[in-house]
Chain A
Amino acid sequence: MERIEAIQKITEQLNDELIICNIGFPSRELYAVKDSPNNFYMLGSMGMASSIGLGLALAQKRRVVVLDGDGSLLMNLGSLVTIFNQKPNNLILVILDNGCYGSTGSQCSYASTVNLSRVAEAVGFKNLFLFWNEIDFSEILNINESIFVHVKVEKGNADVPVIDIEPEDIKSRFIEEVIGR
C-alpha cells in the first residue's frame, strides 16, 4: 500500500477527528486527499507531530489523530514514554512506516530493522494495531484510551503539489475549528 492510499483509507473512516500531520510529503498527500480545517499540516519541526498531538489531546476533549512517520518518531522517541504516562483517552498515534525518510529520497531509517510496534509495546501501550493491506478503524474508534497504530506502507511519494496555505492560516483556521464552536 502506498502512503497516500493509507492516508485516504484512514481519512475515509474518520468523522470529526482533529488531525496533526507529519512534515513533508505526508502533509502534502493529506492536503491532496482531503483538505479540511480539522487538519494541522506541519511544515517544519520534524519529530514534533506526536508531541503536538499529545498537547492538543490533553487540552481539549475532541479526538486527535496523529499521522506520524517512522523517521520522525525515531527523532522524538521519548514522546512515546510521555504519551504512555499522560494517558490521554482521545489520542490515536498512527505511524505511517515506510522504513525510510520518504520525503527526502527514501534513505533507510532504523525502522527497517527495529519493529516500532514492539517498541510501543515495551513502553507499555496496551492498544496496538498493525495494518499491512487493509486498514480498519472501526474497533479503534470505539476505544477511549491512547492507541498506537502501526501502518506499513511502501517507499515513495505521490505526485502532489505543495500546500499553498500560509502557515498562519493553517493555524488560525485550525484553532477556529477547535475552539470557535
Chain B
Amino acid sequence: MKDSSQTIYQALKNAGINFVVSLPCVNLGKLMEMVECDIDVIHVPVNREEEGFGICAGAYLGGKKTAILMQNSGLGNSVNVLASLYKLYKIPIIMIISHRGTEGEFMNAQVPMGEATTGVLDALEITYFNPKTPEDALKLISKAVTHADMESVPVGILLEISFW
C-alpha cells in the first residue's frame, strides 16, 4: 500500500495546486513538510483556519490554485468565511481535512466535533469525498479538484483516522 501523506501530496501536485495554507494535526505533519519543501508551492502556516481561508481567497483572486490542510475542528472555526466569502462570491478551494473523532479515536474530546463535521459541511452545501485508501484518495482528489474548478466551490476531502 502507498504512503498516505505522499499520495495526498502527489494528488495535489497532479491537480496543479500551487498555494497551500495549513494548521497542524498529528496526521498532517508529514504532508506539511512535503509542501514546505516544495519550491513550486507557496506554503503559508496560519494561526487560525478561518484566516487561512481568507488568505486562500486572496491567492485565488491573484490566480493561484489553493488548498488548506487542517483538522476537522478547523472547519468549526471557519463556518462564516465559507458561507459569506466562498459561497457568496463563488470561490474554489480544496480542503484536506484530517477527520478526528472517527473510528479508532483515542481522545474522547475529539468526538463531538468529529460527529458534527459532516453535518456542518451539509449545512454549507459543500461536497465532500471520503477516501478510505491512498489509491482511493488519488482518484477522488482529482475528481474533487475538477468539481471545485467547474463549479467554483470549496470541496472537502475527509480523511478518517483509519486512512493514515
> Taking beta carbons and an 8 Å cutoff, which residues of A are in contact with B?
20, 40, 42-60, 76, 78-79, 81-82, 86, 167-168, 170-171, 174-175, 178-179
B62 at the interface (CB under 8 A from A): yes
> Quick check: B89 and A170 within 8 Å, CB to CB?
yes
Q: Which residue of B lies closest to A76 (CB)?
A: B51
Nearest CB of chain B from residue A17's CB, rounded to whole Å: 13
Residue of A nearest to B63 (CB): A179
| Prevailing SS type, chain B contact patch | helix
Q: DSSP majority for the A interface? A: helix
A60 touches B50 (CB 8 A): no
A49–B42 CA distance with the chains assembled, in angstroms: 20
Name the residue on A nearest B52 (C-beta). A51
8 Å CB contact of B61 from A45, A47, A52: A52
- Does the CB pair A59–B81 fall under 8 Å? no
Q: Which residues of A contact B46 (CB under 8 A)?
A: 78, 82
**CB distance A51 to B55 under 8 Å?**
yes
A44-B85, A58-B42 given; A168·B63 CB < 8 A: no
Q: Report how far A167 CA is from B63 CA in the complex, Å.
A: 18
Judge whether B6 is part of the interface by a CB distance below 8 angstroms: no
The reply to whether A55 and B88 contact each other, CB–CB distance below 8 Å, is: no
Q: Is the CB of B47 within 8 A of A52?
A: no
User: In the complex where A78-B47, A168-B89, A168-B90 touch, is A54 in contact with B84 (Cβ < 8 A)?
Assistant: no
B14 contacts chain A at the CB level, 8 A cutoff: no
0/1 interface trace, chain B 1-42, chain A, CB 8 Å (1 if under): 000000000000000000100000000000000000000001
B158 close to chain A: CB less than 8 A:
no
A86 to B46, CA, bound (A): 10
B46-74 contact mask (Cβ, 8 Å, vs A): 1 or 0: 11101111111111111110000000000
Which of A51, A59, A60, A171 touches B54 (beta carbons < 8 Å)?
Answer: A51
Q: How far is the CA of A86 from the CA of B52 in the complex (A)?
A: 13
Our pick among A40, A45, A55, A170 for the contact of B55 (Cβ within 8 Å) is A55
| A58 partner residues in chain B, CB cutoff 8 A | 19, 42, 44, 55, 58-59, 62
Among B46, B48, B61, B90, the most chain A Cβ lie within 10 Å of the Cβ of B61
